């Protein structure tokens, strides 16, 4: 095959140059490793990766495997091209026919073919090196003498006159061969460190890529769930779906953007490391000590990168946003049911058997108020002597969300509790024992209470509506203020071991209402 034809076969279709570290995709097409990696830096709209040649798509980013056979072909091709481009050096003493030189004598400043080299002086003062076109590079530009040693202190190349000058007086010097050998050892060790550092950076790079892919998959799953829920809803309810998707997309954009800078930085560093590594490898191939030392002044410091900690997706906030949307949807459905007299399907109501006698309950058992006069109710073992009431709903698993309307005056507590909490004394109050968790409004201050411990809650705005999110299996109880800002107030993390009930405490003419 002609050289031009071979060049075409060994060209990357992305950069149009000869392959550099060629890798092969499962579809059979080859590309430079850096070219295909840079092509896949930006996430695709579809979430998949594709081959630039045949457009074959891959659900996850393919692992780039080196095409070793193609690598060898490229190396042989580059070597042959390099050999053909290098000018040939001929023997100085050949007259009738020019023969290629095999050695150059630094003392004689002449090149010799095999025949004339046999008659050349065997003295050690005659230094033979690989054939050279010119000897000017081997001479000191100041004294026009051959360079013979290396100054360790100044890292400079010296001739005999240089070693005797005041500039290098008392400095440690080494023969070129010895200095070259030491420098090559240093660069070899640095290459090992560079390779190790590159491997670490590559692992970090692919780890971040995998994390971002998992994030996008998680986001896609959440979007699919939200879309399935709202898929059959009428046009006037699209706003609810959009709010859920906007929250998911907002988190995706914020977290995904945080990956971009470290990924791009690592990609750039890896590219520079490979470039430096290839340069060092080429320099280390130089056998001529002088030419090697001229090329080996390379920065061998490795920067230490701080680990990147990615922010997790706030699935709880997404779940709360979704469940709040479902609450609004159920409210719309409930209005339709009331309009057409289809009945009430809500199951969060107050249990009259637990209500303190000073607590009044509405007819639908959704609202509780504190009264001055005691109600006449039959005795019951579940009834509180403190001003509290529990819900009838028993929660033993799953995720739940409900909203409470509260009064701006008085004192109130809303939360969850086990049913076996005491019915008498201060230890029965919700939040004052290890069996209950609540949010309390008292003296114009908001606190989160559990096991007689209070935690200040910073609420810039406190509206009349409180959202409560309960993940029984996950051990999470969270409270939200439901103004336009939709503010998170407080979260308890625990391990629920018994059935839970919604619990309410009222004092000083306060009231609460279960909104759903």
What is each CA distance from 241 to 271, 315, 330, in whole angstroms?
43, 16, 14
- Amino acid 166: pLDDT: 81
Strand, helix or coil for residue 149: strand
First to last CA, the chain: 80
Q: Is residue 504 pLDDT above 90, yes or no?
A: yes
- Amino acid 460: pLDDT: 66
What is each CA distance from 356 to 384, 405, 472, in whole angstroms?
5, 20, 27
The answer for residues whose C-beta is within 8 angstroms of residue 366's C-beta and 6 or more apart is 349, 350, 513, 514
Is 0.75 surpassed by the pTM of this model? no
Burial of 353: CB neighbours in 10 Å, binned 0-12, 13-18, 19+? middle
- Amino acid 350: pLDDT: 95
Q: Is residue 418 pLDDT above 90, yes or no?
A: yes
pLDDT in tens, 230-283: 555 566 577 777 787 888 888 888 888 888 888 888 888 888 888 888 888 888
**Better-scored residue on pLDDT, 416 or 102:** 416
**Better-scored residue on pLDDT, 423 or 291:** 423
Percentage of the chain exceeding pLDDT 90: 24
346 pLDDT band (50/70/90 cuts)?
low
CB atoms closer than 10 angstroms to residue 167: 12
Q: Is residue 210 pLDDT above 90, yes or no?
A: no
Q: Is residue 345 pLDDT above 50, yes or no?
A: no
DSSP string, 344-397: ------B-TTT--TTEEE-TTS-EEEE-SSPP-----TT--SSSEEEBS--B-S
Q: What is the DSSP letter of 23?
A: E
Tell me what the mean pLDDT of segment 119-141 comes to: 78
Q: Is residue 13 pLDDT above 70, yes or no?
A: yes
- Amino acid 83: pLDDT: 55
| 362, 514 Cβ separation under 8 angstroms | no
pLDDT in tens, 143-177: 888 788 899 888 888 888 888 888 887 888 888 88
Q: Is residue 416 pLDDT above 70, yes or no?
A: yes
**Better-scored residue on pLDDT, 112 or 305:** 112
Task: Pick the most confident of 108-122, 173-187, 409-423.
Answer: 409-423
Instruction: Name the region of 269 (left: φ>0; alpha: ψ -120 to 50; beta: rest).
Output: alpha
| 266, 204 Cβ separation under 8 angstroms | yes
- Amino acid 136: pLDDT: 72
| 100, 113 Cβ separation under 8 angstroms | yes
| 472, 397 Cβ separation under 8 angstroms | yes
Q: What angle do CA 184, 187, 188 make, to 5 degrees?
A: 85
| 253, 219 Cβ separation under 8 angstroms | no
For the stretch 387-426, what's the b/e string if a residue is b when 16 or more beta carbons lie within 10 angstroms of its beta carbon? Answer: bbbbbebebeeebbbbbbbbbeebbbbbbbbbeebebeee
Q: Is residue 423 pLDDT above 50, yes or no?
A: yes
**Better-scored residue on pLDDT, 168 or 86:** 168
Q: What is the DSSP letter of 307?
A: P
Tell me what the mean pLDDT of segment 480-499 comes to: 90
Strand, helix or coil for residue 49: strand
Helices (H), 143-237: 160-164, 176-230
Q: What is the DSSP letter of 516?
A: -
Rg (CA), the chain: 40
- Amino acid 395: pLDDT: 92
From 485, 466, 486, select the one nearest 477 (Cα to Cα). Answer: 466
Residues 47, 11: Cα–Cα separation, whole Å? 29
335 pLDDT band (50/70/90 cuts)?
low
Task: Pick the most confident of 92-101, 224-233, 238-247, 356-365.
Answer: 356-365
pLDDT in tens, 383-411: 999 999 999 999 999 888 899 999 988 99
What angle do helix axes 238-284 and 315-339 make, rounded to 10 degrees? Answer: 160
Of all helices (H) and strands (E), which one includes residue 104? strand 103-105
Percentage of the chain exceeding pLDDT 70: 88
Tell me what the mean pLDDT of segment 92-98 comes to: 78
Q: Is residue 344 pLDDT above 50, yes or no?
A: no
**Better-scored residue on pLDDT, 35 or 225:** 35
The answer for residues whose C-beta is within 8 angstroms of residue 236's C-beta and 6 or more apart is none
- Amino acid 295: pLDDT: 76
3-state helix, strand, coil in the chain (%, to 5): 35, 20, 40
Chain centroid, CA 168 distance in Å: 53
- Amino acid 121: pLDDT: 79
Q: Is residue 340 pLDDT above 50, yes or no?
A: no
Residues 188, 127: Cα–Cα separation, whole Å? 27
7-11, 376-380, 422-426: segment of lowest average pLDDT:
7-11
- Amino acid 341: pLDDT: 43
């Amino acid at each position: 095959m002609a050289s031009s034809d071979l060049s075409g076969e060994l060209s990357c279709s992305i950069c149009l140059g000869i392959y550099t570290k060629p890798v092969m995709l499962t579809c059979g097409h080859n590309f430079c490793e850096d070219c295909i990696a840079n092509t896949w830096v930006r996430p695709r709209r579809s979430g998949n990766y594709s081959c630039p040649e045949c457009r074959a798509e891959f659900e996850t980013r393919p692992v780039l495997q080196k095409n070793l056979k193609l690598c060898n072909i490229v190396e042989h091709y580059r070597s042959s091209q390099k050999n053909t481009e290098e000018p040939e050096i001929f023997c100085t003493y050949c007259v009738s026919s020019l023969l290629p030189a095999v050695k150059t004598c630094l003392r004689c400043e002449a090149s010799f073919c095999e025949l004339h080299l046999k008659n050349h002086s065997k003295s050690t003062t005659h230094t033979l090196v690989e054939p050279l076109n010119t000897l000017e590079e081997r001479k000191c530009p100041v004294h026009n003498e051959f360079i013979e040693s290396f100054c360790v202190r100044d890292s400079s190349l010296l001739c005999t006159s240089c070693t005797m000058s005041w500039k290098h007086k008392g400095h440690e010097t080494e023969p070129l061969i010895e200095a070259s050998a030491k420098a090559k050892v240093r660069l070899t060790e640095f290459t090992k460190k560079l390779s190790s550092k590159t491997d670490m950076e590559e692992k970090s790079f692919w780890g971040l890529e995998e994390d971002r892919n998992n994030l996008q998959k998680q986001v896609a799953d959440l979007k699919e769930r939200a879309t399935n829920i709202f898929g059959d809803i009428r046009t006037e309810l699209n706003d609810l779906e959009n709010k859920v998707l906007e929250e998911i997309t907002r988190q995706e954009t914020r977290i995904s953007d945080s990956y971009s800078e470290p990924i791009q930085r690592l990609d750039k560093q890896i590219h520079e490391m490979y470039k430096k590594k290839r340069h060092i490898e080429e320099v280390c191939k130089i056998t001529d000590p002088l030419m090697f030392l001229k090329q080996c002044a390379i920065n061998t410091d490795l920067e230490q990168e701080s680990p990147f900690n990615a922010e997790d997706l706030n699935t709880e906030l997404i779940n709360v946003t979704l469940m709040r949307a479902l609450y609004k949807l159920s409210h719309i459905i409930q209005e339709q049911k009331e309009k057409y007299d289809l009945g009430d399907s809500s199951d969060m109501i107050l249990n009259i058997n637990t209500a303190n006698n000073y607590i009044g309950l509405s007819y639908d058992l959704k609202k509780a108020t504190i009264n001055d006069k005691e109600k006449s109710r039959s005795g019951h073992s579940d009834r509180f002597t403190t001003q509290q009431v529990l819900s009838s709903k028993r929660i033993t698993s799953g995720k739940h969300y409900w909203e409470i309307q509260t009064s701006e005056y008085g004192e109130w507590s809303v939360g969850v509790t086990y049913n076996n909490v005491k019915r008498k004394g201060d230890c029965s109050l919700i939040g004052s024992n290890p069996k209950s968790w609540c949010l309390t409004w008292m003296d114009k201050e908001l606190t989160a209470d559990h096991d007689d411990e209070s935690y200040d809650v910073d609420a810039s705005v406190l509206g009349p509506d409180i959202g409560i999110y309960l993940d029984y299996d996950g051990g999470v109880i969270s409270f939200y203020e439901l103004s336009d800002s939709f503010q998170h107030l407080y979260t308890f993390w625990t391990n629920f071991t018994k059935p839970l009930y919604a619990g309410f405490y009222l004092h000083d003419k306060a009231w609460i209402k279960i909104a759903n």
